Structure 1
Amino acid sequence: MRISLLAALGATAAALLAPPAAAVPVAANPVPGSITTLPLVPSRPGAQARPATPAGPRSADPSGAGETREIQAHGTGSFALVGVSWDDPQVTLAGSVEVRTRSAATGAWSDWYRLAADSEDGPDPAEHPSRGATAPFWVGPSDGIAVRVAAADGPLPAGLRAELVDPGTDPGSAATPQSGAPAGRAAHGAPRPGIVTRSGWGADESLRQAGFVYTGNARTVFVHHTDTANGYTCADSPKLIRAMYQYHVKTNGWRDIGYNFLVDKCGTVYEGRAGGVDQPVLGAHTLGFNANSSGVAAIGTYTDASVPQDQLDGIAKIAAWKLGLTDVDAKGTTNLVSASDGSRYPKGQSVGFNTISGHRDAFVTDCPGNELYTRLPGIRSTAARLQGR
């Protein structure tokens, strides 16, 4: 059911549209990228399924006599991130989605990887996603694709297509974190960490919707993982974020990238959704609880893999600073009101959260992965120390 923007934000949230002039710095020469879409076709008779290498720790999808569709292995133009989408964002794909890609550097084909059949991050209903889609998966520079999708039972969603994202080339200058004013303006304000701005990672500002939507002050930071491969280099982080930005906007139909901030495995903090890093920008990261919160995503998958200490420190720094802007205790608790029955809690229910929480605390998901989730107490302690508590 579609609801108004004000209803989605809840009675305590203020939604404001700011003119583009209020944006954070825009790149003088936006970095171009592109998405190539390829339709899936009915599978060949007798095609045999083979086990996939999971992109993350997901239980095996049940086998059944459901519809199957595919893209047979063939060469393509350049891309580095892949996903699968379908026409109706209200429809869930119950089944398996698997891809394999050809390395542009070596010509070798990868193993099969299983994609999350439903993107677990998302906006509240007022943002009107235009397509259903899997979570995107970073594969690095590639020039070949194969896809297979199998329903657990019955038909697959209509309009299935592969989304091949080319992140474009890097900006002329390196992505350098920009420092800000020391300490917050509240009694327990933490030092602002260096943040790579959108212009620093090469955001094409013409892609997103004009203007910005603001909510009430962030009372909770929801920690996520992007559920993408961990083998990226930190030099690739701007490319990965540009590709994710394109996927969220062009494929999902969101107004901008979903996360408010992203942190790579080297601990570098990146600005996410536009509107000002020190402003309460409404994100699209935790369905039902995007209002009065900020979404921080660790780039990678942390279900079984250990989280680098630099990344943990980066998450703690940005959480401490963001919460400290309005004197929110990083080791405290707060209440938020659910804006969607699609969350873990019915719409309208007031829910208590730690001020630094995991995505799974608000939504039925494994995110941010067991390894990262178990490190949240340490992140809270570090953030509180940074706030001088």
Structure 2
Amino acid sequence: MSARHGRPGFAVPRRHPWPWAARALALALALSVTSAAPAAGAGATATKAPAVPPVAEQPLDPLVVDEVPVVVEGQTPAGPGTDTVPAPELSAELPDVVAADAVGTRTVSAAVPVTRYQTLGVTWSTGPSAADVDVRVRTRTDDTWSQWIPLESDGTVPDAGTAEASREVRAGTESVWIGDADDVQLSLGEGARSVQDVRLALVGATDDAPDGADRSADAALSAPTVLSAPTVLSAPADLAAAGGSVVASAPAAPAIVTREGWGAAPQRCAPDVASTLLATVVHHTAGPNTYATVGEAMAQIRGDQRYHQDARGWCDIGYNFLVDKWGNIYEGRDESGTRPVIGVHAGGFNTATLGISMLGDYSSITPSAAVQESVARLIAWRMASYHRDPGSTVGYTTLGGENSRYAGGTTLSLPVVIGHRDVAYTACPGERGYAVLGIIKQRARDIIAGQYVNPSLSATSVPVGGSVAVLGGATGTIHSTLRVVDERTDQQVRSVFAVTSPTGGGALIVWDGRNEAGAPVGPGPYRLSLEGVDTRDGRPVVGFVARVQVTGTSVPPTVPGVPLVGDLRFVPVAPARLLDTRPGGAALGPGGRVDVTVAGTAGVPADAKAVALNVTAVAPSTTTFLRVWPAGGPVPSSSTFNADPRITAASGVMVGVGGEGKVSVYNNSGSVHVVVDVSGYFVDGSSGVGYRPLATGARLLDTRSEGGPLTSGATREVQVTGRAQVPAGATAVLANVSSVGPAGPGNIIAHPAGGAVPTIASVNHLPGDNVSNRTVVPLSADGRLALTLQGAQAHVVVDVIGWFGAGAPMRFTPIDPARATDTRTTSPLGQGESRDLPLGAVALPQQAQAAVLSLAATQQTDTTFLTAWQPGTSRPTASDLNTGRGRDQAAMTVVPLGPERLVRVYNDRGTSHVVIDVQGWFG
């Protein structure tokens, strides 16, 4: 500007234009007035904001930031374009100002024309004494100079470690609104010599405004857009760290003018977001209080934003919210009303704090009652969402930084509501602004009323049977309910009630680690949700949500064993559930065991010697396997089936009944829920029937070629008897039930047709993954079975490999499960390969005609299926196991045996290892 205006001491400015795409996004939204509202004076009552007649929206004049290098006497300027700038002249008009300061010689610039600008600030590169730069400014309007206005060296920079801190940022003063001034002058103290690259930043319209032009932006403004209150607030990011609150209801959000409403420029980068809010820092912008309209207030905010973005290098305006002198609230940084967005407003204290700035200078003017009320409502709304008591304190570790009162790493008991001066060497928010903070704190507390304060867990991990407390304070008498939910199943396992009295700290409520039945819950993640109602007015308070990990396992005493009995006959029962660990949160931990009573329940008589079960592993936390065996007998070295993390897997099993009429289920690793369903039992009397395998198996249903896929709640019936050599007298079948190409999670229930749909699952399916399970399915009196789907639709395939009935000759003999073969000791089956695998490791007697096997696939390289059959016969068309790539999966099958005691296994695609365990035999 020196070439244009002939002013010594100033160079031609560098301009940062606002991109045209961004300009098009900003609309003028403000209030029209008939007369200027006076500034609020000391002790003034609330000044009513101007009326809001809607008028047409028009684009704002685009803003530009011009930066003028300032040469300070005794200092060599730095930065491009500054090496030829002449030394400044001291103004002859101001001899008394320098002497009156009594702080040494000051450098005063010549007058700078600013007819096109409305906001200014001074920036510099950081130096050893940046806090002592001591910048002052005065303006001339219509040949009259104002008083000198201090521009505080705020020392505010982004907190270390944030993405914003990695940008090229500059130290500087607060920005100040200069309105329609014609000229400005700067006065710099001696501290200006200790910094480098001093610049005067000027913010205004892109085109010069003619003399006398109205630049208040009132001519084309409409009513401000108001940000509606969210019904649910965002949670802190890390529930596992015992933080978090997302439960209604916080105090309602006040009316807020959105960023679109005041014409914000787009963010230059995405500010970081903290995990919580700990405190509020109250500021003032330190600019004049003489703005007369909401339009001028919005123009000031726009100028502040551009100064922060272009001159300071920040992502956005530094404050989270601003409040004008009439109490209108403006959204600052984007999403500050829904997330703990990190601002740039208090160096070292930006993270996890809310920055609220009052628009104006409150050094000698008291904020109006309307301003105090709006600031209090903002504090109440945002602090209550994170359980902070505006009248209390919270632990805070500062990041330090220039102008901070505390070194980095200092841990403070920080008041929840502070003024900027409490943590930095600054007068902000002014003497009168600071004086009303006590009133604002109390008003915020009154608005919040009863609440939990700084809640946390006494521990985030406890052993099985251990207790955990929610610690914290309370500001009223609250009827509290703690709901404990198993996160893997989303089932509530316990509710605890308490009356919480006002307290400064301690245990608000305690969970003893047990379910509603009084038994310890099993290992796994549990969500604790604390809800409360203020007894004074029945209003729900903001709740608290956190997670606790229960670790360890529980193993009951071993029951006495009983000898296993053979030559058993089968009796089907209506499928029924014997065990479900989910409702009580009784998951099995690593090495955990549960003994399930099977005899004398669910239609199974007390003298049953074996049972046909379907065992399901739900939501395992890691790769694991389950073992099922007669209770009291030796723990088998073999597994019944395998399960992958978070994937539901199931397998049929025929197992002998052990001591006390029970069977045992063991989990190897992690934690897992277990479901056990029964479909029949075996007895040694004449009341049961025998079993006969089909020579090659038979496919009785394939919805891919008949009827189309099953949808949620749909049932498809299948006639079984009279087809594929299954006689009319058959009472149950051994069938492979497969879900093919499912659209999402769900399950298929195989059950007798014509009756009620039982609460069991024969096969659980996964999105796009073929899954099968071999299970015993009872038939209706007329020989039909039904298939009911729950969840996402899927095609269903049913293959029958054998039947139970009066004409079937084979009897069942259970054994203690044992491993027969494992290809992991040799080589996997290749694509399309059939291999004869020996069962000789298990001593089956000569009368054994068919083996009851657990057939498992592991380390598969592709989606495939396995089929097992007797060598020397044709491969059946029905598969025994369908499995996805890389999934450990097992299914029960019954394979006829030849004298060599070999089982031939076929693998369809990729390569796969095969593991075979023996559960018993028919003969």
Q: How many Å separate the matches in 1 of 2:400 and 2:426?
A: 15
CA positional deviation for 1:338: 0.7
The aligned residue for residue 174 of structure 1 is: 223
Which residue of 37, 40, 43 corresponds with 2:88? 43
Contact 1:138–1:228 under 8 Å retained in 2: yes
Q: How many Å separate the matches in 2 of 1:119 and 1:52?
A: 23
CA positional deviation for 1:61: 5.2
Counting only pairs closer than 5 Å after superposition, residues 196-275 of structure 1 correspond to structure 2 as 196-205=257-266, 208-235=267-294, 236-275=296-335
Q: How many residues align?
A: 350
The aligned residue for residue 5 of structure 1 is: none
Moved more, 360-369 or 241-250: 360-369
Given residue 292 of structure 2, which amino acid in structure 1 is its aligned partner? T
Structure showing greater radius of gyration is 2
Q: How many Å separate the matches in 2 of 1:93 and 1:353?
A: 23
Q: How many Å separate the matches in 1 of 2:329 and 2:202?
A: 26
The aligned residue for residue 378 of structure 2 is: 318
Contact 2:127–2:194 under 8 Å retained in 1: no
Evaluate the alpha carbon distance shift between residue 240 and residue 193 of structure 1 in structure 2; reply closer, same or farther with a 3 A threshold: same
The aligned residue for residue 164 of structure 1 is: 202
Given residue 63 of structure 2, which amino acid in structure 1 is its aligned partner? G
Given residue 237 of structure 1, which amino acid in structure 2 is its aligned partner? A
TM-score under structure 2 length normalisation? 0.36
Counting only pairs closer than 5 Å after superposition, residues 46-85 of structure 1 correspond to structure 2 as 47=92, 49-50=94-95, 62-65=102-105, 68=107, 70=109, 72-85=110-123
The aligned residue for residue 172 of structure 2 is: 133
Contact 1:188–1:387 under 8 Å retained in 2: no
Contact 1:187–1:327 under 8 Å retained in 2: no
Q: How many Å separate the matches in 2 of 1:159 and 1:314?
A: 39
> Which structure shows the higher strand fraction?
2
Evaluate the alpha carbon distance shift between residue 335 and residue 31 of structure 1 in structure 2; reply closer, same or farther with a 3 A threshold: farther
The aligned residue for residue 32 of structure 1 is: 62
Q: How many Å separate the matches in 1 of 2:247 and 2:145?
A: 50
Q: How many Å separate the matches in 1 of 2:319 and 2:433?
A: 17
Q: How many Å separate the matches in 2 of 1:122 and 1:363?
A: 12
Contact 1:183–1:192 under 8 Å retained in 2: no
The two structures, once aligned, show a CA RMSD in angstroms of: 2.9
CA positional deviation for 1:150: 3.8
Counting only pairs closer than 5 Å after superposition, residues 273-288 of structure 1 correspond to structure 2 as 273-288=333-348
CA positional deviation for 1:251: 0.9
Unaligned runs of 5+ in 2: 1-24, 28-58, 72-86, 207-216, 234-245, 451-923
CA positional deviation for 1:331: 2.3
Counting only pairs closer than 5 Å after superposition, residues 321-336 of structure 1 correspond to structure 2 as 321-336=381-396
Given residue 203 of structure 1, which amino acid in structure 2 is its aligned partner? A
Given residue 75 of structure 1, which amino acid in structure 2 is its aligned partner? P
The aligned residue for residue 303 of structure 1 is: 363
Evaluate the alpha carbon distance shift between residue 117 and residue 191 of structure 1 in structure 2; reply closer, same or farther with a 3 A threshold: closer
The aligned residue for residue 362 of structure 1 is: 423
Q: How many Å separate the matches in 2 of 1:131 and 1:90?
A: 14
Moved more, 42-51 or 122-131: 42-51
Which residue of 349, 372, 380 corresponds with 2:410? 349
Aligned-partner SS, 2:227: coil
Contact 1:89–1:133 under 8 Å retained in 2: no
Which residue of 115, 119, 144 corresponds with 2:154? 119
CA positional deviation for 1:291: 1.1
CA positional deviation for 1:320: 0.5
Given residue 133 of structure 1, which amino acid in structure 2 is its aligned partner? G
Q: How many Å separate the matches in 1 of 2:331 and 2:173?
A: 23
* Deviation per residue, 1:293-320 (Å, 9 max, x gap): 1111111122221111100001001111
CA positional deviation for 1:280: 0.7
Q: How many Å separate the matches in 1 of 2:227 and 2:101?
A: 44
Q: How many Å separate the matches in 2 of 1:183 and 1:233?
A: 36
Q: How many Å separate the matches in 1 of 2:205 and 2:297?
A: 11
CA positional deviation for 1:362: 1.8
* Deviation per residue, 1:1-23 (Å, 9 max, x gap): xxxxxxxxxxxxxxxxxxxxxxx
RCO comparison, higher one (Cα < 8 Å, 6+): 1
Contact 1:186–1:327 under 8 Å retained in 2: no
TM-score under structure 1 length normalisation? 0.80
CA positional deviation for 1:31: 5.8
Given residue 382 of structure 1, which amino acid in structure 2 is its aligned partner? R
Q: How many Å separate the matches in 1 of 2:93 and 2:145?
A: 18
The aligned residue for residue 99 of structure 1 is: 137
Q: What percentage of residue pairs aligned between the two structures are identical?
A: 29
Unaligned runs of 5+ in 1: 1-25, 54-59
* Deviation per residue, 1:85-129 (Å, 9 max, x gap): 2244665163543333233xxx33332423335124442244255
Contact 1:358–1:368 under 8 Å retained in 2: yes
Contact 2:157–2:171 under 8 Å retained in 1: no
> Which structure shows the higher helix fraction?
1
Aligned-partner SS, 1:322: helix
Given residue 256 of structure 2, which amino acid in structure 1 is its aligned partner? I
